[in-house]
Structure 1
Amino acid sequence: MHLFNRSFWIGTGILFFLTVQLYAQSTVVSGVVRDGRLREPLPYVTVTFQGTTVSTKTDASGRYSISSDKAQSALVYKYVGYRTHTTVIQSGQTQTMNVILEEIAEKLTEVKIVAAKAGPYRNKENPAVELIRNVIAHRPENRIENFNQVAFKQYERLQLSYSNLSDEFMKKKLFKNYQFLFSQQDSDKIGGKNQLPVYLQEKLSNNYYRKSPEKNKKIIYADKHVNYDPNVIDNDGISVYLERMYADINIYDNNILIATTQFLSPIANSAPTFYKYFITDTIKTQSPELIELSFIPRNPQDLVFEGRMYVTNDKHYAVQSVFLKTSRSANLNFVRAAELKQSFIQDSTLKYHLGKSDLVVDFGLTKNKGRGLTGQRTLIISDYQLNKAEPDSIYKGENQVTQLQKGSNNEQYWAQNRPDTVPASTLAIYKNIDSLGKSKSFKTAMTVAGVIFAGYINFGKFEVGPTYTFYSFSPIEGLKLRLGGRTTTDFSTRYYFDGYAAYGFKDQKWKGYMSGAYAFNNKSIYTFPQSFIRASFQRDLYIPGQELRSNSEDDFISSFKRGENNRYLYNDFYRIQYVQEFQNHFGFDLGFRKWSQSPAGALSYYNIVNNQTNIIDQITTSEFNVSMRYAPNEKFYQGKRSRVIVNNKYPIYNLRYAVGIKGLLGGQYNYQNIMASVDKRFYLSQLGIADVKFEAGYVGGGKVPYPLLAIHKANQTYAYQIYAFNMMNFLEFVSDHYAAVYADHTFSGFFLNKIPLLKSLKLREYVSFKAIYGGVRAENNPANDPQLMQFNKNSAGVPTTYTFDKLPYMEGSVGIGNIFKILRLDGVRRFNYLDHPNAPKYGVRIKLKIEL
């Protein structure tokens, strides 16, 4: 470690020497710009070398730094509502210039006092509301989408830090040799004084928009970011997830998404219903004249902002700058504070377009105190080109592609091309994290984190897990112990092996899974885009109707189930599959499977032959199948063996077709099975978010026993499942043709926020409705043919498996979420088919749901 420290200081000395040499002939000015009356720092003041286009803006703490290799004599400071200030500087020197700006805003010429006490706020005859209605009416002409084609350059910086750290925390033994990791800022800034930067990413891109046919295209030509151990953390996934948390914000949209939460824009169509507006200043020294418009929520718990904006007082009513922040009383979890500052620049047509955007969000378990996590995303947009025709080739392919320029990964490239002045302490994150990653203590911490969050224990060329499947139980198996693992890319980037072994102590049977795969694209078969061929064999116990998965994962929590839970299947499952995904998020899975299933527990397979019960020990099918999935604009975080989808407004389409062949490798039936579904999320502004799924299926091509029909997905656990029927029993309904709808809606506290006392709890309302209807055609109905496999019955001889009558099966629920910030509790009601054995009418289900 002493060697590391010595090397670190030698390197720092060399870097300092080079820096001095670089700027020996340069003019470098830094300082702080403050308000002349309150002496508070002024953010986003434009600082320019006089007579040039070289400029920068102060950060959220009023600090700035600007440099030039050419002779300079003065700096000009400009800020809306303040007098332009010019300061003489020394050319060719490094110097500090702290500046005070004086306000020049004029008060309104007419003030009316109608009573000693102000009356209630009203929209009618309110000049501030009339102004905002004009802004709303002119939104279409001020949107960038108003142009036929737009091109611009964009620089984006995303930084993540552990924040609000105490001095005692920094002095912990763990950080004894890593004090260089910490950074400091103003204590009144979001995130507090002491911070531990953990992630930094910078991107440069060319961006294009075409109105008809509408298309956005982003070409990233430089990308620099922190890299962690890929065996533990999906670095690309971090970037995707953070970009979703800190998404692009267009003030002209009706709704603004911050940290996955939807806020109503202050210039949305319905904004006057949820905001109060006040004209607080006029600025006549600008051309056009600007009006300062302040706004606050009518109801502080609603998902709206407070802040101010400057609007041009002309026929365009364009937004020149805006400052938004979340209310401390807003129904948010873990978000302690969020601020958005945007400034707009004029183009050659005098239209205003976004020039800079700065979003800061601070997360924490507690509202005011304690450590947290602070993220900041900064965008600088320049070189607008309007209505310039671009070749069609620009818009082909994915909406976002990466085409890195040569040398874009070195520091010199970024020093020359970064359009913003970034503090050296911020840029040090790149080297600091790289140094930290080489330390044994950090590697140990990352290994522990991998076990906790990913469920795998890494041993280099292979890893053991998932840990949460080591222990489970069921009525058939009793105690079930399982141990599994798989190879990693350290073993091979072409060949992958996966498997587990399990033993049930009650049924005294071994289960297991083994697979081998070959990756055509020479990368992990679990990461996007997948391209591999795999062969596998699995022997395990399943509940009929539950999804058969090659990576079946038992777990302790799902072992607890309500009602009768004694009908299972032993399965032998042979499969070969070819999986291919494309960059446009279309993918297919083409394969063959042989499936042998045997009933277990209270489940029995039988038919009637010559008026005698004929027990069927096993049925076997052999089928070819293809599954296709299309998820346009899909984003996700890549887990160890599955993906965490980052929800957005775009639909997801699924289609599966299978054909069974009698006589092939012991297959006993000919059939065709087709299933299609579409999932869609709807953002309904202040009324919340709705997730809707439509699904339909059809089984045909010959007589088949009911276990090969669609066994509708029931849920007998106590956990609420969105895409399952929570009051339906296992194997209760089967169909050879059906259609289903699932709808789950959260109002995000829209109603509860308005109830005294309750609103302080920040609870959230949920409603859901699910229905499914179908049937069994005459040729597949065992009531018409005793030689067909008969529906299952209980010990009293009462049927427990049915097809639908004249009505669809329906259930609904009303729930309260955000209980202790992590739980959702639903009261579920089953509306019909209540005469079935053990059919529950009411139930209570719980779901772990962590929301912001």
Structure 2
Amino acid sequence: MKRLLLPLLLLFAFVATAQSKVGGSVIDENNDPVAFANILFKNSYEGTITDDNGSFYLESDTTHDTLVVSFIGYEDLLIPLTQKVNYNMKVQLKESSEQLQEVVVFAGKQSKKNNPAVEILKKIWAKKRQNGVRQFKQYAYDKYEKVEFDLNTIDSALMKRKIFKGLEFVFQDLDTSRITGKTYLPIFLNETFSKVYGDNVISEEKEDVLGNKNSGFDNNQAIIGFIADLYQDYDIYDNYLKFFDKSFTSPLSRTGVDTYNYALRDSAFIDNKWCYNIVYYPRRKNELTFKGDFWVNDSTYAIKNINLEVTKSANINWVKEIYIEQDFEVVNDSVFLLKRDYMMSDFSFSKKEKSRGVYGKRTTVYGNYEFDKKHPRDFYKTESNPYDPIVQNRDSSFWSNNRLESLNKDEKGIYQLLDTLKTVPKFKSYYNLVSILGSGYVEIDKWNMDVGSVYDVFGYNQAEGPRLRLGSRTYFGENDLWRLEGYMAYGFSDQKFKYGTSGKFLLDKKSRLIISGGNRRDIEQLGVSLTATNDVLGRSIASSSLVTVGANNRLTNINLSKLDFEMEPITNLRIGVGGTFRTLSSALPDDFSLDYIDPEEPSGIASTIRQFDFNALLIYTPGKRTIGYGVERRTINDNYSTLLLNYTKGTEGIFGSDFDYSKVQFAYSQPWQIGGFGRLYSTLEVGKTFGAVPLGLLNVIPGNQTFFSNYGTFPNLDFYEFVTDTYVALHLQHNFNGRLFARIPLLRKLNLREVVGLRGVWGTLSDENIALSAPAAINTPLQAPDDKVYYEYSFGIGNIFKILRIDFNFRGNYLDAPDARPFSITGTFGFDF
């Protein structure tokens, strides 16, 4: 009886509300599921379509007495709804013996010609750049957004688990999703109110955040940053819609006719506008597509309402459901403006119907539109700070006046629930564990310090053997204006301690003037990146890999001190100047040499490099989005390009510096979204060193002797196999996101993803530099790929067990070099969508 108590109470609560809720499955006369069948409340435009398995769920705030089920080639079925809640319905459709009249529609992979839905779609394409705010020179509007996370599929078995012992009070208020029909428990809420301004003439837009509030987590920017990256804005008229780092083909796309089937289902007056209703569903499985329907006006061909649901077969991980609704309001005879945007995601380890997970729900409401109020261009360059304490601490009257949609009962209770939960020791333990796994640091609040990173504790290399490292940093909050950081490490083979210390201070918030400095004494694998900056605390995976290919013995003792000044006068444009002093020597002199000719030494050979460098750095990252205003900000997107220009001037004599030289380096990285064919990532690097320098200061072509796939390196090159003083390198890597495998029947259900790569480098090494480092050539080849471009290519299979990618790498030339590796296998782990 106790097991039945909660379901009975929930059922009573459902029936007591003035709503219609239906759920079940649609089958044909052979008991096979009917995918993409139309489900509609009679005399309304509230509907949905069945999923790949014929299942459906539909909910309405209005009480309806009849459900209409239809599909091309079957007789329409009208089902009386005798109750407000009708679950586990079995709907069987019969094949139709009558010819359709008036409207001709197509099902399956039929011809796209003479299809009225496609003809309407073409008119949407022609008008899409004339709809909405695009019709006006300038625009402004209010934007209210709330993001909520809920635990879903709550049942009595879950409530009785030991993990919730002492937390039973959180289950007192449960609700059911109007999309899936599952019970859920709200656990997080974030609200934002902002004013958006735009100018179509000069193509400028900005958003001023006036209020920001979240439930109980002290404005944790890690959570907020995750949300901001997860739920980025989109335009349904675009050809591709990006969610979770994937590009889905929009049903309004010009390529939609090759991806979707369209059918004209109905027409009706909506807000006194005659509209057509078009149903769409994918032509093929396992592609990044939607199913759903939309209503479009018959004269402006502007969208009045649209819903999109990602098909369960779509090649996306950890997300079981994605459901989107957009409603547009009619301002006058020709203007349709976005009024409400709702997106619900069901995150789960499994796509099985009964699997538990977390709902992520974003609701965005737009209002108070204004048009043709011109602002100067400089107006769009000034940005508000969404993490300003004033913005974060708006009172209740502010939210009452500016919420464009009121909070419901459950949402109102989240703030109180989370405040209560944070006082429960057990919940705090769970929260701290998740925080450690996410950030890598253990928080010690009473000392305002973090210990970590936990992922760097253990390592191994041939110079140190097993290695332990323990670090810590000051941490008063996400927006600290200064931060101190350091670590201590010990190698069990060389029995030596190493350390690194660093500090950075934000001197001016407006220009983001930062002073930073530090010192590091450690063992490092140099030359794993051509254009790496001098990070005091950085450490390459090549120095800590547990297993490597061949002898990983070309390691360097490094003593690095630096002092830098950096500022950001324009958003995403960073300018830095500073100085570094390095002492370099071989960590394994018997196996690897950094020796060079030095007439001032008694033996004529020096083994240690002492070098002072002046550095000037310019980094431009257009499109990069960050949150926070402290000395360290969090990046919340990865679809931006990076241009880097670095100038290094080595000056002989300062602090006993050995060499006088100049080095110029340029790098350009760009991700390219190739429509529905995945993402291409490209990097071009160019550099030249002027003056004679020894091996330790030359540009090493980055090899990779680990078993980890590491973009920017050459996995079939050993460390120091090629060194240059002038170089040009290009890296290309394209992830098709399963586009090709989805067309192979035997591979389709595995949801594998194809990755191809091509990389090449050309460089030279002057005779002067070869002669200077001649003593080092005993066990390190002093050669550059100057005869022809060295290149490699690779084929990878990603998404193996949803977490693993394996790359098969092939060396294209220079195969006659000693110990050349013509083939290698590398891999990488990751929890990618």
What TM-score, normalized to structure 2? 0.83
What is aligned with 2:380?
Answer: 395
Partner AA of 2:430 in structure 1: A
CA contact (8 A) 1:218 1:401 kept: no
What TM-score, normalized to structure 1? 0.81
What is aligned with 2:287?
Answer: 302
Give the 3-state SS of the residue equivalent to 2:486 in structure 1.
strand
Question: Which residue, 106, 110, 121 being the options, matches 2:102?
Answer: 110
Gaps of 5+ in 1: 1-28, 46-58, 65-75, 82-97, 100-106, 523-527
User: Is 1:726 aligned to residue 715 of structure 2?
Assistant: yes
CA contact (8 A) 2:501 2:536 kept: no
CA contact (8 A) 2:762 2:788 kept: yes
CA contact (8 A) 2:280 2:291 kept: yes
What's the CA shift for 1:191? Answer: 7.5
What is aligned with 1:847?
Answer: 828
Question: Do the aligned partners of residues 325 and 284 (structure 1) sit closer, same or farther apart at CA in structure 2, a change above 3 Å counting?
Answer: same
Whole-Å separation in 2 of the counterparts to 1:371 and 1:349? 46
What is aligned with 2:538?
Answer: 552
What is aligned with 1:765?
Answer: 754
What is aligned with 1:353?
Answer: 337
Question: Which residue, 776, 796, 809 being the options, matches 1:815?
Answer: 796
CA contact (8 A) 1:822 1:851 kept: yes
For residues 192-211 of structure 1, what are the structure 2 equivalents within 5 Å?
192-195=182-185, 197-211=186-200
Question: Which residue, 610, 621, 626 being the options, matches 1:620?
Answer: 610
Whole-Å separation in 2 of the counterparts to 1:222 and 1:163? 29
Partner AA of 1:359 in structure 2: M
What is aligned with 1:563?
Answer: 550
What's the CA shift for 1:394? Answer: 3.3
Give the 3-state SS of the residue equivalent to 1:181 in structure 2.
helix
Return 551-560 or 270-279, whichever deviates more.
Answer: 551-560
Whole-Å separation in 2 of the counterparts to 1:403 and 1:464? 27
For residues 41-56 of structure 1, what are the structure 2 equivalents within 5 Å?
none
Give the 3-state SS of the residue equivalent to 2:703 in structure 1.
coil
For residues 264-275 of structure 1, what are the structure 2 equivalents within 5 Å?
264-275=249-260
CA contact (8 A) 1:143 1:252 kept: no
Give the 3-state SS of the residue equivalent to 2:291 in structure 1.
strand
Whole-Å separation in 1 of the counterparts to 2:120 and 2:480? 61
CA contact (8 A) 1:34 1:42 kept: no
Whole-Å separation in 2 of the counterparts to 1:591 and 1:639? 23
Whole-Å separation in 2 of the counterparts to 1:722 and 1:113? 49
Return 420-429 or 686-695, whichever deviates more.
Answer: 420-429
For residues 688-727 of structure 1, what are the structure 2 equivalents within 5 Å?
688-700=678-690, 702-727=691-716
What is aligned with 2:215?
Answer: 226
Give the 3-state SS of the residue equivalent to 1:536 in structure 2.
strand
Whole-Å separation in 2 of the counterparts to 1:491 and 1:280? 52
For residues 373-392 of structure 1, what are the structure 2 equivalents within 5 Å?
373-392=358-377
User: Is 1:538 aligned to residue 523 of structure 2?
Assistant: no
Whole-Å separation in 2 of the counterparts to 1:478 and 1:271? 57
Whole-Å separation in 2 of the counterparts to 1:517 and 1:207? 34
Whole-Å separation in 2 of the counterparts to 1:444 and 1:144? 48
Gaps of 5+ in 2: 1-15, 23-37, 47-56, 69-83, 86-98
Partner AA of 1:62 in structure 2: S
CA contact (8 A) 1:683 1:690 kept: yes
What's the CA shift for 1:393? Answer: 4.8
For residues 431-580 of structure 1, what are the structure 2 equivalents within 5 Å?
431-460=416-445, 461=447, 462-489=449-476, 496-520=483-507, 531-546=513-528, 549-553=535-539, 558-580=545-567
Return 659-668 or 709-718, whichever deviates more.
Answer: 709-718
CA contact (8 A) 2:216 2:422 kept: no
Aligned-residue sequence identity (percent) comes to: 27
What's the CA shift for 1:403? Answer: 7.9
What's the CA shift for 1:261? Answer: 1.7
What's the CA shift for 1:457? Answer: 2.6
What is aligned with 2:151?
Answer: 162
User: Is 1:344 aligned to residue 342 of structure 2?
Assistant: no
Give the 3-state SS of the residue equivalent to 1:544 in structure 2.
coil
Whole-Å separation in 2 of the counterparts to 1:739 and 1:399? 41
Give the 3-state SS of the residue equivalent to 1:421 in structure 2.
coil
What's the CA shift for 1:305? Answer: 1.1
| CA deviation vs aligned residue, 1:102-157 (integer Å, no higher than 9, x gap) | xxxxx98625799xxx8961112222222212222222222533432121111111
Whole-Å separation in 1 of the counterparts to 2:627 and 2:711? 21
Give the 3-state SS of the residue equivalent to 2:364 in structure 1.
strand
CA contact (8 A) 2:386 2:392 kept: no
Partner AA of 1:144 in structure 2: V
Whole-Å separation in 1 of the counterparts to 2:195 and 2:108? 52
What is aligned with 2:30?
Answer: none
Question: Do the aligned partners of residues 457 and 219 (structure 1) sit closer, same or farther apart at CA in structure 2, a change above 3 Å counting?
Answer: closer
What's the CA shift for 1:226? Answer: 2.3
Question: Do the aligned partners of residues 173 and 142 (structure 1) sit closer, same or farther apart at CA in structure 2, a change above 3 Å counting?
Answer: same
What is aligned with 1:318?
Answer: 302
What's the CA shift for 1:307? Answer: 0.8
CA contact (8 A) 1:190 1:360 kept: no
CA contact (8 A) 2:139 2:371 kept: yes
For residues 607-756 of structure 1, what are the structure 2 equivalents within 5 Å?
607=596, 614-635=604-625, 645-700=635-690, 702-756=691-745
Question: Which residue, 131, 138, 150 being the options, matches 1:149?
Answer: 138
Give the 3-state SS of the residue equivalent to 1:802 in structure 2.
coil
What is aligned with 2:4?
Answer: none
Question: Do the aligned partners of residues 774 and 541 (structure 1) sit closer, same or farther apart at CA in structure 2, a change above 3 Å counting?
Answer: same
| CA deviation vs aligned residue, 1:787-833 (integer Å, no higher than 9, x gap) | x12274466xxx53311223122111111111000011111111111
Give the 3-state SS of the residue equivalent to 2:257 in structure 1.
helix
CA contact (8 A) 2:609 2:696 kept: no
Give the 3-state SS of the residue equivalent to 2:555 in structure 1.
strand
Whole-Å separation in 2 of the counterparts to 1:336 and 1:424? 26
Whole-Å separation in 1 of the counterparts to 2:282 and 2:479? 57
What's the CA shift for 1:227? Answer: 4.2
Whole-Å separation in 2 of the counterparts to 1:544 and 1:407? 44
User: Is 1:327 aligned to residue 311 of structure 2?
Assistant: yes
What is aligned with 1:67?
Answer: none
Whole-Å separation in 2 of the counterparts to 1:529 and 1:801? 44
Question: Which residue, 775, 782, 795 being the options, matches 1:801?
Answer: 782
Whole-Å separation in 1 of the counterparts to 2:251 and 2:206? 28
Give the 3-state SS of the residue equivalent to 2:578 in structure 1.
strand
Partner AA of 1:715 in structure 2: N
What is aligned with 2:242?
Answer: 257
| CA deviation vs aligned residue, 1:520-579 (integer Å, no higher than 9, x gap) | 369xxxxx9965433322111112313553113477972321122111111111222234
Partner AA of 2:328 in structure 1: F
Question: Do the aligned partners of residues 743 and 501 (structure 1) sit closer, same or farther apart at CA in structure 2, a change above 3 Å counting?
Answer: same
Whole-Å separation in 1 of the counterparts to 2:175 and 2:276? 32
What is aligned with 2:397?
Answer: 412
| CA deviation vs aligned residue, 1:443-478 (integer Å, no higher than 9, x gap) | 333333343333323333233222232222211111
Question: Which residue, 104, 117, 131 being the options, matches 2:120?
Answer: 131
CA contact (8 A) 1:397 1:584 kept: no
What is aligned with 1:13?
Answer: none
Give the 3-state SS of the residue equivalent to 1:825 in structure 2.
strand
Over the residues paired in the alignment, what is the CA RMSD in angstroms? Answer: 3.6
CA contact (8 A) 1:830 1:841 kept: yes
Whole-Å separation in 2 of the counterparts to 1:708 and 1:420? 61
Between Structure 1 and Structure 2, how many residues are aligned? 751
User: Is 1:838 aligned to residue 819 of structure 2?
Assistant: yes
| CA deviation vs aligned residue, 1:243-277 (integer Å, no higher than 9, x gap) | 22122221111111122221011111111111111
Whole-Å separation in 2 of the counterparts to 1:42 and 1:721? 58
CA contact (8 A) 2:704 2:717 kept: yes
Question: Do the aligned partners of residues 815 and 646 (structure 1) sit closer, same or farther apart at CA in structure 2, a change above 3 Å counting?
Answer: farther
What's the CA shift for 1:609? Answer: 8.1
What is aligned with 2:73?
Answer: none
Partner AA of 2:226 in structure 1: Y
What is aligned with 1:825?
Answer: 806
Whole-Å separation in 2 of the counterparts to 1:828 and 1:407? 50
